[in-house]
Amino acid sequence: MLSSWWRAALCAGCIAFVTACGGSTTAGRPGDSLTVSPSSSASRPAADGDPAQLVGSWALQAAGEGPGAILTVGDRVDGGLLLFRSCGMLSGSWRANTHGLFVGQIAGGDMACYDGGHDAAPGWLDRVVGYRRDGSDALLVDDGGAVVARLTPGAHPTTGPNESAEFASPPVVSPDMRTGFTDPAPLPADVTPADQAALVGRWVPVQPATSKAYVSFAADNTYSGSDGCNGEGGHYVLGADGVALATSGGSTLVGCENSPLPRWIVESGRVGTREGRLVFVDPSGKVLGEAKRG
């Protein structure tokens, strides 16, 4: 889990983006409360899928979500993730691929949802690493394939008086989104695909050796780090052959001798290891950089 301080910082950074005062929601089919299975350490989902089918506004059933909750995947404004609750709208980001992997996070939103210091970010979303279809519904699943959230089509969110009505418009699949769905190029021949066991831990840039930058990957699919003076963090998931998907929350903009290390995981299509070093490779097959344990 990200620390409460980090989540508060993300929320504060998003106040200018979302300043709603209690939008309302209506769902196409409210449905009964969802029984959520416990998490498992089994292998991650690998079934083929079409991420474009996730784009839409869905009636949401998940542990901790009240009646009428709606999740919009792929909004018209920035291709992000929107969670509509009775307290207002929360915003974040998501990534998915054709191998059934999904990762998402909520980074901030309506301050009414954070009243009393409550952490409004949905805990159920932290467990999601994949998706699959169930008829017309979409299921978000954990690393054992257990259903974490059920998404039912036909939801129609509405926005509050201080939100742009565009947030409630039907989301669309943009060309950039389709590009992001495609399989990344293979890893270089001398790079071994990374699995989570190889990734977990703290890494620092190979160069310069004096950099204060680092990135730390946790077993719960979260990561945190610094470019040398600005904190960064988010969620990640690894698939077969080192395929990587990651989201990133907000960050401060303090100037320093910044290192791109924390951004490499977001920009990578695959991650591997070479001679004990972590190698980040972009979707075109270009090596972004390497990191060592530290």
Q: For the segment 175-194, what is each residue's pLDDT rounded down to a tens digit?
A: 888 888 999 999 999 999 99
The DSSP H or E segment spanning 265 is: helix 261-267
Strand-strand pairing, 137-141 and 130-134: antiparallel
Indicate if the pLDDT at residue 274 is higher than 80: yes
Q: Which CATH number fits domain 192-293: 1.10.1370.40, 2.40.128.270, 1.10.1530.10, 2.60.40.10?
A: 2.40.128.270
pTM tops 0.75, yes or no = yes
pLDDT band at residue 203 under the 50/70/90 scheme: very high
* Beta strand spans in 126-165 (E): 130-134, 137-141, 147-153, 156-157
pLDDT of residue 127: 94
Residue span(s) of the chain under CATH 2.40.128.270 come to 192-293
Looking at the chain, the whole-number percentage of residues with pLDDT higher than 90 is 53
If DSSP codes are grouped into helix, strand and coil, which group holds residue 53? helix
- In this structure, the dihedral spanned by the alpha carbons of residues 247, 249, 251 and 257, taken in order and rounded to 10 degrees, is -20
- Quick: pLDDT tens for 113-164: 887 666 678 999 999 999 999 999 999 999 999 999 999 999 999 887 767 8
Least confident residue range of 21-30, 60-69, 97-106: 21-30
Tell me which residue of 286, 120, 125 sits closest to 221, measured CA to CA. 125
Q: What is the mean pLDDT of the chain?
A: 81
**What is the pLDDT averaged over residues 84-111?**
89
